[in-house]
Chains A and B, each alone.
Chain A
Amino acid sequence: MEGLQSTPTGREPGARPVAVITGGRRGIGQACALSLAEAGFDIVILDLEEDADATQTLAKLADHGVRARMVVGNIADIDHRAGLVDRVFQAFGTVDCLVNNAGVLSGTRGQDLLNVTPRDFDHVMSVNLRGTFFFTQEVARRMVGEAEKGPSAERSIITISSGAVGRARTDSPEYAFSKSCLALMSQMFALRLGKHGIRTYEIRPGINRTEMSRDAWGMYEELIDEGRFPIPRLGLPEDVGKTVASLATGGLAYCTGGHVYVDGGFHIPTSVRPRRK
């Protein structure tokens, strides 16, 4: 545009890097947004609705002195993904960091392997895997385009999966399927995008105290009392947020395709319970 100083990537000169967080209005997504804001990113929150949670999150982001904007949309609506990604990129002209955080559990949580329905299966897969994959594909295409126009300090795609990755279980198989496939997806994008300077990471949170897991908090407390968690507490959304900020700012600049367990050591395969203090 004539008169508007613009870098080849559509970024204004001296502008902050930009991060988009799917499902960013609450829970782990909100914590990621806040940590990235603290690290100096402008923030785009992509979520289903601009409710009270979203308003509060945007206000908290503004307190960090960065620009924050909400884009309302659904990653599962893949027929409209190009338009959705347009709106995300238009918010601040580019995207340097994508955080794939949006995810759902099935309506009938904890369904036994023998009873899970196609409806539950399709719902979880449509958001967690199909939606995340095609949204990531669309963002990645544009990131590659921008990388060819000019260098950026750091570009990354960070996928929040789960400690459920790769673990056989007898309940909620659809959730474990979806998250296990995200692990492979993150590795595939690592192979494809490495030469464009775009790194991918996967974060496997343990058991976190969020709204999504509210009905299981009591059960989790029992696990802690049994000494099942090496670090004897539940995860907090900000544990994941701090890790995302480190990854997005190049703290692990020669890592790509890898995963980070943010779970207090819950993933360590063991038959021995950690000794309590």
Chain B
Amino acid sequence: MAQLDGRIAVVTGGSRGIGATIGRAFAREGAAVVICDLLDERGEGIADEINRAGGSAMFVHLDVTAQTDWHAMAARVDAWRGGIDVLVNNAGINVRTGIENVGLDDWNRVVAVNLTGPLLGMQTVAPIMRRRGGGAIVNIASNAALRGIRSAAYCASKWGVRGLTKVAALEFAAAGIRVNTVCPGVVPTELNAGQPYVATTGAKTPMGRIATAEEIAKAVLFLASDSSSFITGMDMPVDGGMTVGMPS
């Protein structure tokens, strides 16, 4: 039996990159997948691709910072499949400025997408999951949530995601809802295209390479499935050992 048979899964930022890969992987494991994003055309394309491959998917336009969008999404998914079992808060943005240089607008925008987005998402799905007897939420943070980097808003918002996850794990456990964080290392995507660290990080990683989006998706799948039924409130680095230390 596939790992997500019969489950209904929502993936934010699902139109490209890691989010699209998570959506495809979930569909292969039997889930009905809701691809959410601001990029309508590409999101529709991912949903079409999944449906053509024999899976089941729907695209819903969602600005993760807009509470009304979340409620509209939940209503559409409710009409489509009658509930939500899995939420992956994957949508994220980055502005690469330090503390002295970050503009307040940029700071607010990054925090709104990366941190307030998951909050609104969890507020939206928790009552639905509680009604269904449980569920699984996976919040995508970053390796930057385990150390300091030179992007103030990104780093702080991703540390915030880890904290929010632990609050959610405590708050929702009795309702059968598990909440965990995945902290990916470097994955080549449009978000980091052209950044010098994409080329140099592999050699500094114990496994000798950077990640593929598929490998992040596998870890998310583990935390979304019953294989992890007693795991909650945990941060899982998926970084080839980068946060462990330097290889000899």
Contact = CB atoms under 8 A, between A and B. Distances in A.
A binds B: yes
Interface of A: 187, 190-192, 194-195, 199, 206, 230-232, 235-236, 239, 242-243, 245-246, 250-258, 260-265, 267-270, 272, 274-277
A263 B244 CA distance: 22
Contacts of A231: 173, 178, 230, 232
A199 B238 CA distance: 12
Given A190-B241, A194-B247, A260-B236, A254 B207 contact: yes
Given A192-B248, A252-B218, A230 B170 contact: yes
26 contacts: A190-B206, A190-B241, A194-B206, A230-B173, A230-B232, A230-B233, A231-B173, A239-B229, A251-B218, A252-B219, A255-B241, A256-B207, A256-B244, A257-B245, A258-B236, A258-B244, A260-B231, A262-B228, A262-B230, A262-B231, A264-B230, A265-B233, A269-B166, A274-B171, A274-B173, A277-B175
Contacts of B80: none
B170 A268 contact: yes
B240 A254 contact: yes
Contacts of B241: 190-191, 194, 255-258
Interface of B: 166, 169-171, 173-175, 178, 185, 205-208, 211-212, 215-216, 218-219, 221-222, 226-234, 236-241, 243-248
A121 to B, nearest CB: 28
A242 B246 CA distance: 30
Contacts of A192: 247-248
B166 A268 contact: yes
B173 A264 contact: yes
B164 to A, nearest CB: 12
A20 B112 CA distance: 48
Nearest to B215: A254
Contacts of B246: 191
B208 A195 contact: yes
A251 B238 CA distance: 11
A263 B230 contact: yes
A235 B170 CA distance: 17
A9 to B, nearest CB: 20
Contacts of B236: 252, 255, 258, 260
In terms of DSSP, what is the predominant structure of the interface of chain A? loop
Contacts, number: 139
A57 to B, nearest CB: 22
Contacts of B211: 254
A2 B12 CA distance: 58
B159 to A, nearest CB: 15
Contacts of B244: 187, 190-191, 256-258
Contacts of B208: 194-195
Contact of A252 (B174, B185, B222, B232): B222
A96 B207 CA distance: 17
Contacts of A253: 215, 218
Contact of B248 (A191, A199, A264, A269): A191
A232 B174 contact: yes
Given A242-B229, A246-B227, A272-B170, A256 B206 contact: yes
Contacts of A195: 206-208, 247
Given A194-B206, A246-B227, A267 B169 contact: no
A265 B240 contact: no
A254 B239 contact: yes
A109 to B, nearest CB: 24
A243 B175 CA distance: 22
Contact of A232 (B169, B173, B238): B173
B198 to A, nearest CB: 15
B219 A254 contact: yes
- Most chain A CB within 10 A, of B174, B218, B231, is at B231
Nearest to A252: B219
A258 B226 CA distance: 20
A254 B212 contact: yes
Given A274-B173, A275-B171, A275-B174, A251 B227 contact: yes
A258 B174 CA distance: 27
